[in-house]
Amino acid sequence: MKILLLFLTITAVTTITTFGQNFEGKIFYSNTYKSKNTQMTDQQWTSMMGSTQEYLIKGGNYKSIANGTLVQWQLYINKNNKLYNKMSNSETAFWNDGSVQGDEVLKVEVNKNVTEVLGYKCDEVILTCKSGIQKYYFNPNLSVDTKLFTNHKFGNWFDYLSKSNALPLKSVIENAQFTLVSIATEIKPLKLDDKEFELPAGIKTDKSPY
């Protein structure tokens, strides 16, 4: 479960758009899995984790919604630096302290102009971690205010942002359980209501045991 939660953190246009400020809006991703676990097929991972992901961001807050049978949504609330994860097998949203990394980055590499996604030329950040290899592909037009995420060390998020200052358009995450390839399929810049980044009324929350 610890690996799953780390992955969820890592784990958002049809024409080229230049954004004059930090990106606010939605990014839609398509996810595919290659299993390394002999007791889990590629399709089982896809069904459980979700083949699609909707990622919303405004300032220092973000939310991710998946179509998985297990994974439902994830919400990061910047003011308390907590990352909430909601699974289908529990009525409780379990949170992790964003300041606790839960992994270790051993090496960081940056490569220029490696690939193209939705018409955006992307540079690459490679994080070699204790948990595995994480590769991110980004374009500076989808910029974020990295200072807002200085304390978001969980899932190696700040390690990535400190090198890119932008949201990933593609990622390849490899750990002991599977390899995930996540690719942006659509980008929607738009103004989002702050209520999008609030916990549902009455929901139970508790500290994650992992």
pLDDT band, very low/low/confident/very high, at 18 (cuts 50, 70, 90): very low
Among 12-16, 82-86, 110-114, name the one with the lowest average pLDDT: 12-16
Of 144, 131, 138, residue with least CA distance to 171: 138
Domains in the chain (CATH in brackets) are 2-202 (2.50.20)
Reported as a single tens digit per residue, the pLDDT across 143-153 is 999 999 999 99
Mean pLDDT to the nearest integer, 34-41: 96
- Is the entire prediction scored with pTM above 0.75? yes
CA-to-CA distance for 169 and 183, rounded, in angstroms?
Answer: 6
Query: Across the chain, which distance is largest between two alpha carbons, in Å?
Result: 47
For position 210, what pLDDT does the model report? 85
